[in-house]
Chain A
């Protein structure tokens, strides 16, 4: 157990809908990262927050957004969902900006 928690574990929804994925980092970690993992693409970095501020952005779609709250938990919002958004979404945290990242168990999103 890495100490990073994610909810929900599974999410099934329809195209066009909007969902919110939640992540709580390890105690004391200020940095939160979001990744998408699909079968053909592997793990793709989406976005990073550090102590409430956005720090780095990857290939995140405009339909996706994230934020980190004062208690350091983070939410990833996915809207206007498409079939291709079906994937495992991981959250990771690290104590510093560039330290090793510890991954949560992931949320499996299925868009029907």
Chain B
């Protein structure tokens, strides 16, 4: 059965800290890995990583895909209270258009 596992399930840090969120996957025919941020309601797209793009960066957020280890990390540096959210990892499979989501990491950034 295809699965995506995220760790930790929750994390509490102080503003200015750096955090690393983990995602590991076991899926058939891996195609892409996506990161989303979910605040109050809808997940918002952060990054998509594929075999041809294993590292992405946007401001304080960066992500790396390790295809050997079947995993990815999402780094957030100099965290702010606005980074508090659930971060979701999802994997897309070749030959199928569905995404398999992990259960998410709940990040709380305290002032």
Residues of A in contact with B (beta carbons under 8 Å apart): 2, 4, 31, 33, 35, 42-45, 48, 50, 55-56, 58, 88, 90, 97-106
Contacts and interface: CB of A to CB of B under 8 A. Distances in A.
Interface of B: 31-32, 34, 36, 41-45, 48, 88, 90, 92, 96-104
A98 B92 contact: yes
Contacts of A98: 31-32, 92, 97
A42 B44 contact: no
Given A100-B34, A100-B48, A45 B42 contact: no
A100 B45 contact: yes
A45 B98 contact: yes
A97 B96 CA distance: 9
Given A43-B43, A98-B32, A102-B45, 7 more contacts: A2-B44, A4-B42, A90-B42, A100-B45, A100-B48, A101-B34, A106-B41
B100 A45 contact: yes
Nearest to A43: B101
A42 B104 contact: yes
Given A42-B101, A45-B100, A56-B96, A101 B45 contact: yes
A106 B92 CA distance: 21
B37 to A, nearest CB: 11
A4 B99 CA distance: 18
